Structure 1
């Protein structure tokens, strides 16, 4: 097994012992370490491969300037810019194979920027005292970031925190050795959906697109999945997107924590990627099933999906708001955009005769969408349900036309 080099990032003035321990574990397992110091006030016990002065210079500043500013937030944001720029450059030069960043709130803030600067397939591990915390917004998370809770790690080494640190070292080294990075053998189509019990179009569309020579990646649009989708779309990873589960937009504007961020439904359009969009589950707001309903949504019908997830069914006025939000985001698109509106229903429980069917609510949504649809978006209405073969046939017809006209690149 060939060695892999791990970029280890942290504030060596306050976390020297912990970072040195991580490096020792990596080396004992046959890995190599490239160390980066992002501290400001103090110095490490021994020089790092990339000094804090190198990091500050990469951000266009200096350590002396950061200290003189007298603002720790300003200083750490400067170091985050420098560390991110250096990480991207060093990886492009082939200097490391994975990254491990250690920190509390300051270090985690910086870690998210460093990880976001690296492409998918580069193992990204953050050991943090606030891992999985609501302090971390969805739109700061790269598509394949891994977080490990740093238990007992606020100050100094001990047997509890060593358990976390040693696992993190082994995890990032093992990932760097095992990872199969994306290979651009076929153009990639990004698709959003939920489980087959609610939305089933991917069962038809995925093999149909593969027969046309495309690879298909389906993202579970429950906050984190949509975030990964947006992250890759912003990088231009997709030849085309089938964004048919846009419920996360409604989640966000209704205050749900199950959010993919304010910029959901924008990255593909801003990048100029051709996009087919549909309102899968637009009428539902997903909430954590173990929390009480927010006061603003009390009194609305709800459906318990499982112990983790409850969906509230929006009334007609709120559906109109969702329609305007979808239209507003798509108005920013620079590439070809089609909106498919299935008038037969937008998820399994929205079909005729099903428990969450609200024909008047769907009519209100459709009317608002027609009124607010921007001129850069082609609106395609169909009497079909979103799970019907006719809906898939419409999507494929638009896609095939785009391929024939060169809107979707096949090279």
Structure 2
């Protein structure tokens, strides 16, 4: 039997939470619901399975939160609920999670879901802020958001319909998850993560097709938009990948220069720390990403800009920025690589993206040379192999050879030829 954990502030949303609880069980009578109260003030009700008081006593050292500022209440209750939900997950007693609320409740519940539950575990939030900027809510996870349309403040026909839909959805997800958990997949395929951007797509497509057609490998392609890189790092930490071909490391540029697709300061850490086969390249590090041209920061207005689409403006990496990218990459790998022999860096000297080949709009031989030299010098003596290859990153033969280099590190055969 599947069980859904329902997270909510019962001091302010009890009526709505109880309706959602009933909606889940109405949609699927064989699904249990476990209601956790994360409110500022404790609430007594027979249908609350874990009270606010119990949460604080077991996971919050018995501290009281009723007099704390709102932000501290949210942080404290999120921390306690995260520990409680993790415990339930480890016991194998929950198969889905759902919450409903406004901005505060959404912030609290999403923190619990991000920190306690792995990718692939059903998680949903009915939220008043689900139609705005949802990046900070979802981040690199697979939280499903449903816009409440009206505020979660008293039941009416609109909210009843929305909550009923949400209840049916999470019930179905939980039952599906429970059935998958009881019958684990029998596939023994190796799982390989690959990073991709529009300007490295031909190379990634060739790599993916080669790996999946020649070997018992399943590929997971991550769009290097910031959240994509963070999602791959998270999946590695969760044990969800066996090897990585990190072809497209453009998110480093955005982190260093203030672009809109940064994956943060922890990029490149997870695979190195895990010691899994890890072949890295410098795909699309010729660019930083911004939104429409009008949104490019004033300090960059005189730089070489390229309108990739009307929504995306690219800025060419300068020579100094290229050195900084190389420093970031080499420092991370030297500091984090558990097994340097499992790491290899490939430098496609014929072009690091579709638009930085010799005739492309972002061609800049000096900046590329600075990047390549910084990587070469930075990894000297580290035990990490650096491959300088004359071909471009999207060259089909380059794709073949870098894929084979990863396969060799995975112990599946493979070759390490390069030009």
TM score, norm. by length of structure 1 = 0.87
Q: Distance in 2 between matches of 1:298 and 1:106?
A: 38
Deviation at 1:368, TM superposition (A): 2.3
Q: Distance in 1 between matches of 2:161 and 2:358?
A: 54
Deviation at 1:307, TM superposition (A): 3.0
Q: Which residue matches 1:383?
A: 390
* Contact kept? 1:341, 1:366, Cα under 8 Å: yes
Distance 1:271 1:164, change over 3 A: farther
Q: Which residue matches 1:333?
A: 337
Deviation at 1:247, TM superposition (A): 0.7
Deviation at 1:346, TM superposition (A): 0.9
Q: Distance in 2 between matches of 1:225 and 1:254?
A: 18
Q: Which residue matches 2:417?
A: none
> How many matched pairs?
400
98-107 vs 344-353, greater mean Cα deviation: 98-107
Q: SS of the residue aligned with 1:278?
A: strand
Deviation at 1:156, TM superposition (A): 3.2
Q: SS of the residue aligned with 2:43?
A: coil
Q: 1:298 aligns with which of 298, 301, 304?
A: 301
Q: Distance in 2 between matches of 1:338 and 1:11?
A: 49
Q: 2:86 aligns with which of 80, 84, 88?
A: 88
Pair 1:366 & 2:366 matched: no
Deviation at 1:394, TM superposition (A): 3.3
Pairing 1:161-172 to 2, within 5 Å after superposition: 161-172=159-170
* Contact kept? 2:243, 2:410, Cα under 8 Å: no
Q: Which residue matches 2:100?
A: 102
Deviation at 1:160, TM superposition (A): 4.5
Pair 1:205 & 2:207 matched: yes
User: Structure 2 regions of 5+ residues with no counterpart?
Assistant: 414-419
67-76 vs 199-208, greater mean Cα deviation: 67-76
Q: Distance in 1 between matches of 2:239 and 2:396?
A: 29
Distance 1:265 1:235, change over 3 A: same
Deviation at 1:217, TM superposition (A): 0.8
Q: SS of the residue aligned with 1:379?
A: strand
TM score, norm. by length of structure 2 = 0.86
Distance 1:353 1:290, change over 3 A: closer
Q: Which residue matches 1:131?
A: 130
Q: Which residue matches 1:28?
A: 26
Distance 1:230 1:367, change over 3 A: same
Q: Which residue matches 2:354?
A: 348
Deviation at 1:199, TM superposition (A): 2.9
Q: SS of the residue aligned with 2:410?
A: helix
Q: Which residue matches 1:403?
A: 410
Q: Distance in 1 between matches of 2:305 and 2:337?
A: 33
User: Structure 1 regions of 5+ residues with no counterpart?
Assistant: 407-411
Q: Distance in 1 between matches of 2:131 and 2:388?
A: 41
Deviation at 1:48, TM superposition (A): 0.7
Distance 1:133 1:263, change over 3 A: farther
Q: Distance in 2 between matches of 1:302 and 1:12?
A: 51
Deviation at 1:291, TM superposition (A): 5.2
Q: Which residue matches 2:401?
A: 394
Q: Which residue matches 1:48?
A: 48
Q: SS of the residue aligned with 1:350?
A: coil
Q: SS of the residue aligned with 1:15?
A: helix
Could you report, residue by residue, the CA deviation over 1:284-304 in whole angstroms, capped at 9, with x for unpaired residues? 111122752112321122222
Q: Distance in 2 between matches of 1:147 and 1:376?
A: 45
Could you report, residue by residue, the CA deviation over 1:103-123 in whole angstroms, capped at 9, with x for unpaired residues? 334323332332222122211
Q: Which residue matches 2:416?
A: none
